Protein backbone atom coordinates (compact mmCIF):
# COMPACT_ATOMS: atom_id res chain seq x y z
CA UNK A 1 0.00 0.00 0.00
CA UNK A 2 1.45 3.45 -0.96
CA UNK A 3 2.70 5.57 1.90
CA UNK A 4 0.68 8.70 2.71
CA UNK A 5 3.04 11.71 2.70
CA UNK A 6 2.53 15.20 4.12
CA UNK A 7 3.93 17.93 1.86
CA UNK A 8 4.51 21.55 2.88
CA UNK A 9 4.73 24.34 0.29
CA UNK A 10 5.69 28.00 0.66
CA UNK A 11 3.87 30.12 -1.91
CA UNK A 12 4.32 33.62 -3.26
CA UNK A 13 1.54 35.23 -5.23
CA UNK A 14 0.23 38.48 -6.65
CA UNK A 15 -3.40 38.48 -5.55
CA UNK A 16 -4.54 41.28 -7.87
CA UNK A 17 -6.60 39.16 -10.22
CA UNK A 18 -7.87 36.58 -7.73
CA UNK A 19 -10.90 36.46 -5.48
CA UNK A 20 -8.74 35.65 -2.49
CA UNK A 21 -7.20 32.40 -1.32
CA UNK A 22 -10.27 30.32 -0.52
CA UNK A 23 -11.84 28.05 -3.10
CA UNK A 24 -15.05 29.43 -4.64
CA UNK A 25 -17.21 28.32 -7.56
CA UNK A 26 -16.98 30.14 -10.90
CA UNK A 27 -14.30 32.65 -9.86
CA UNK A 28 -10.49 32.34 -9.89
CA UNK A 29 -8.88 31.86 -6.48
CA UNK A 30 -5.37 30.82 -5.48
CA UNK A 31 -6.63 27.61 -3.86
CA UNK A 32 -8.61 26.69 -7.00
CA UNK A 33 -5.58 27.05 -9.23
CA UNK A 34 -3.22 25.27 -6.86
CA UNK A 35 -5.55 22.29 -6.44
CA UNK A 36 -6.09 22.15 -10.22
CA UNK A 37 -2.31 22.10 -10.70
CA UNK A 38 -1.94 19.32 -8.12
CA UNK A 39 -4.59 17.32 -9.99
CA UNK A 40 -2.59 17.66 -13.21
CA UNK A 41 0.56 16.60 -11.37
CA UNK A 42 -0.78 13.67 -9.34
CA UNK A 43 -3.80 12.63 -11.37
CA UNK A 44 -6.02 12.74 -8.28
CA UNK A 45 -7.96 15.36 -6.34
CA UNK A 46 -5.86 16.92 -3.58
CA UNK A 47 -7.19 19.27 -0.90
CA UNK A 48 -4.80 21.82 0.55
CA UNK A 49 -4.79 23.68 3.89
CA UNK A 50 -3.40 27.23 4.16
CA UNK A 51 -1.91 29.10 7.11
CA UNK A 52 -4.18 32.07 6.37
CA UNK A 53 -7.05 32.91 4.04
CA UNK A 54 -6.00 36.06 2.22
CA UNK A 55 -8.81 38.25 0.84
CA UNK A 56 -9.42 39.25 -2.75
CA UNK A 57 -6.58 41.45 -4.01
CA UNK A 58 -4.26 40.60 -1.09
CA UNK A 59 -0.78 39.26 -1.81
CA UNK A 60 1.62 36.80 -0.18
CA UNK A 61 5.36 36.25 -0.13
CA UNK A 62 5.25 33.54 2.54
CA UNK A 63 1.94 31.69 2.44
CA UNK A 64 2.33 28.17 3.86
CA UNK A 65 0.15 25.27 2.81
CA UNK A 66 0.19 21.54 3.31
CA UNK A 67 -1.49 18.55 1.73
CA UNK A 68 -1.30 14.77 1.91
CA UNK A 69 -0.71 12.47 -1.03
CA UNK A 70 0.24 8.89 -1.73
CA UNK A 71 1.90 9.86 -5.01
CA UNK A 72 5.50 8.70 -5.27
CA UNK A 73 6.91 11.76 -7.06
CA UNK A 74 10.04 13.01 -5.20
CA UNK A 75 9.39 16.22 -3.26
CA UNK A 76 12.31 17.87 -5.05
CA UNK A 77 10.37 17.53 -8.29
CA UNK A 78 7.15 19.03 -6.90
CA UNK A 79 8.27 22.68 -6.99
CA UNK A 80 9.33 22.82 -10.67
CA UNK A 81 6.43 20.62 -11.74
CA UNK A 82 3.79 22.74 -10.02
CA UNK A 83 5.34 25.96 -11.28
CA UNK A 84 5.03 24.63 -14.82
CA UNK A 85 1.24 24.29 -14.33
CA UNK A 86 0.58 27.41 -12.24
CA UNK A 87 0.12 30.90 -13.73
CA UNK A 88 3.14 33.18 -13.52
CA UNK A 89 1.64 35.26 -10.69
CA UNK A 90 1.55 32.22 -8.37
CA UNK A 91 4.88 30.56 -7.56
CA UNK A 92 5.95 27.71 -5.32
CA UNK A 93 9.08 28.92 -3.50
CA UNK A 94 9.80 25.76 -1.49
CA UNK A 95 8.49 22.21 -1.20
CA UNK A 96 9.32 19.78 1.58
CA UNK A 97 8.08 16.50 3.00
CA UNK A 98 7.17 17.00 6.66
CA UNK A 99 5.88 15.11 9.69
CA UNK A 100 2.29 13.86 9.56
CA UNK A 101 1.54 16.09 12.58
CA UNK A 102 2.29 19.30 10.67
CA UNK A 103 -0.78 21.42 9.87
CA UNK A 104 -0.24 24.73 8.07
CA UNK A 105 -2.97 26.51 10.03
CA UNK A 106 -3.11 24.78 13.41
CA UNK A 107 0.66 24.42 13.87
CA UNK A 108 1.36 28.12 13.22
CA UNK A 109 2.62 30.23 16.13
CA UNK A 110 2.17 33.61 14.45
CA UNK A 111 1.66 35.39 11.14
CA UNK A 112 3.35 38.54 9.91
CA UNK A 113 1.50 40.89 7.57
CA UNK A 114 2.87 43.99 5.85
CA UNK A 115 0.81 46.93 4.65
CA UNK A 116 2.19 49.72 2.43
CA UNK A 117 0.70 53.21 2.27
CA UNK A 118 2.08 55.43 -0.49
CA UNK A 119 1.88 59.20 0.08
CA UNK A 120 2.17 61.86 -2.60
CA UNK A 121 0.29 63.74 -5.29
CA UNK A 122 1.26 61.20 -7.97
CA UNK A 123 1.01 57.41 -7.84
CA UNK A 124 3.50 55.61 -10.10
CA UNK A 125 1.42 53.21 -12.23
CA UNK A 126 3.59 50.21 -11.36
CA UNK A 127 2.70 50.65 -7.66
CA UNK A 128 -1.07 50.70 -8.08
CA UNK A 129 -1.65 47.00 -7.31
CA UNK A 130 0.58 46.94 -4.23
CA UNK A 131 -0.05 50.09 -2.17
CA UNK A 132 -2.82 52.24 -0.74
CA UNK A 133 -2.38 55.65 -2.30
CA UNK A 134 -3.12 58.57 0.02
CA UNK A 135 -2.31 61.87 -1.76
CA UNK A 136 -1.07 63.71 1.34
CA UNK A 137 1.25 63.02 4.27
CA UNK A 138 0.13 61.19 7.39
CA UNK A 139 1.58 61.90 10.84
CA UNK A 140 3.43 58.66 11.48
CA UNK A 141 4.37 59.49 15.09
CA UNK A 142 0.69 59.73 16.03
CA UNK A 143 0.04 56.44 14.25
CA UNK A 144 2.85 54.79 16.21
CA UNK A 145 1.41 56.02 19.51
CA UNK A 146 -2.02 54.72 18.55
CA UNK A 147 -0.66 51.30 17.57
CA UNK A 148 0.72 50.77 21.08
CA UNK A 149 -2.82 50.41 22.44
CA UNK A 150 -3.34 47.35 20.21
CA UNK A 151 -0.41 45.20 21.28
CA UNK A 152 -1.09 42.31 23.63
CA UNK A 153 -4.12 40.04 23.91
CA UNK A 154 -7.48 41.75 23.42
CA UNK A 155 -10.96 41.24 22.09
CA UNK A 156 -10.62 42.68 18.57
CA UNK A 157 -14.34 42.73 17.75
CA UNK A 158 -14.03 46.40 16.77
CA UNK A 159 -11.62 45.40 14.00
CA UNK A 160 -13.45 42.26 12.83
CA UNK A 161 -15.07 42.30 9.42
CA UNK A 162 -18.72 41.41 9.01
CA UNK A 163 -19.26 37.76 8.17
CA UNK A 164 -16.24 36.48 10.09
CA UNK A 165 -16.41 32.70 10.71
CA UNK A 166 -14.40 32.94 13.96
CA UNK A 167 -15.91 31.66 17.21
CA UNK A 168 -13.80 34.00 19.36
CA UNK A 169 -12.63 37.55 18.70
CA UNK A 170 -9.69 37.35 21.10
CA UNK A 171 -6.31 37.59 19.42
CA UNK A 172 -2.79 38.47 20.53
CA UNK A 173 -0.80 41.08 18.61
CA UNK A 174 2.86 40.57 19.42
CA UNK A 175 4.16 43.64 17.65
CA UNK A 176 3.15 46.51 15.36
CA UNK A 177 5.97 48.39 13.62
CA UNK A 178 5.56 51.49 11.44
CA UNK A 179 8.46 52.48 9.20
CA UNK A 180 8.89 55.50 6.95
CA UNK A 181 10.68 54.84 3.67
CA UNK A 182 10.73 57.79 1.29
CA UNK A 183 7.09 58.35 0.36
CA UNK A 184 5.84 55.13 1.93
CA UNK A 185 4.64 54.19 5.40
CA UNK A 186 5.12 50.46 5.93
CA UNK A 187 3.07 48.80 8.68
CA UNK A 188 4.10 45.37 10.00
CA UNK A 189 1.63 43.50 12.21
CA UNK A 190 2.60 40.23 13.87
CA UNK A 191 -0.12 38.28 15.68
CA UNK A 192 -0.97 34.73 16.67
CA UNK A 193 -3.76 34.85 14.08
CA UNK A 194 -6.03 37.40 12.46
CA UNK A 195 -9.77 37.91 12.30
CA UNK A 196 -11.47 38.54 8.98
CA UNK A 197 -10.21 41.91 7.64
CA UNK A 198 -8.56 42.64 11.01
CA UNK A 199 -5.25 43.85 9.56
CA UNK A 200 -6.95 46.12 7.02
CA UNK A 201 -9.32 47.56 9.64
CA UNK A 202 -6.38 48.31 11.94
CA UNK A 203 -4.49 50.08 9.15
CA UNK A 204 -7.58 52.05 8.14
CA UNK A 205 -8.03 53.20 11.74
CA UNK A 206 -4.35 54.14 12.13
CA UNK A 207 -4.64 56.17 8.93
CA UNK A 208 -7.51 58.13 10.49
CA UNK A 209 -5.18 58.96 13.38
CA UNK A 210 -2.49 59.97 10.90
CA UNK A 211 -4.96 62.25 9.12
CA UNK A 212 -5.82 63.97 12.42
CA UNK A 213 -9.39 62.65 12.33
CA UNK A 214 -9.05 60.98 15.76
CA UNK A 215 -6.55 61.16 18.67
CA UNK A 216 -4.15 58.27 19.26
CA UNK A 217 -5.68 57.65 22.69
CA UNK A 218 -9.04 56.84 21.11
CA UNK A 219 -7.72 53.39 20.15
CA UNK A 220 -8.21 52.28 23.76
CA UNK A 221 -11.89 53.25 23.65
CA UNK A 222 -12.31 51.59 20.24
CA UNK A 223 -10.98 48.30 21.62
CA UNK A 224 -13.23 48.51 24.68
CA UNK A 225 -16.29 49.25 22.52
CA UNK A 226 -16.10 45.81 20.85
CA UNK A 227 -18.11 47.32 18.01
CA UNK A 228 -16.91 47.54 14.39
CA UNK A 229 -18.68 50.88 14.01
CA UNK A 230 -16.34 52.45 16.58
CA UNK A 231 -13.21 51.92 14.44
CA UNK A 232 -12.06 53.52 11.21
CA UNK A 233 -12.63 52.42 7.60
CA UNK A 234 -11.25 49.27 6.02
CA UNK A 235 -8.00 49.90 4.14
CA UNK A 236 -8.09 48.62 0.53
CA UNK A 237 -6.73 45.12 -0.10
CA UNK A 238 -3.89 45.78 -2.51
CA UNK A 239 -1.54 47.22 0.12
CA UNK A 240 -1.63 44.04 2.23
CA UNK A 241 0.75 41.09 2.00
CA UNK A 242 1.20 37.94 4.09
CA UNK A 243 4.96 37.99 4.60
CA UNK A 244 5.77 35.07 6.88
CA UNK A 245 4.26 32.33 9.02
CA UNK A 246 6.31 31.04 11.97
CA UNK A 247 6.21 27.57 13.46
CA UNK A 248 7.83 26.05 16.52
CA UNK A 249 10.31 24.34 14.27
CA UNK A 250 10.82 23.99 10.55
CA UNK A 251 10.44 20.37 9.54
Q: Would you name the residues annotated as active-site residues?
A: 55
Helix pair angle (140-147, 198-211), 10° resolution: 130
CB contact burial 135-169 (16+ within 10 A = b; e otherwise) = eeebebebbbebbebbeeebebbbbbeeeeeeeeb
Strands 108-119 and 132-134, bridge-based pairing: parallel
| Phi–psi pair at 247, nearest 5 degrees | -125, 165
- CB atoms inside a 10 Å sphere around CB 198: 24
Amino acid sequence: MPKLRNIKLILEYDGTFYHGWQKQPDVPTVQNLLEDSLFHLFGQKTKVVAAGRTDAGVHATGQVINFTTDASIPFLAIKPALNSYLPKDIRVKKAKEVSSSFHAQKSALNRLYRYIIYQGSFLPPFYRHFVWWIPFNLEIDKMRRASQFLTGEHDFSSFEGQGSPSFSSRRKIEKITLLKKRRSIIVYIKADSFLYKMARNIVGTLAEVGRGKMPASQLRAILEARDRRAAGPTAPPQGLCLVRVRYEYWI
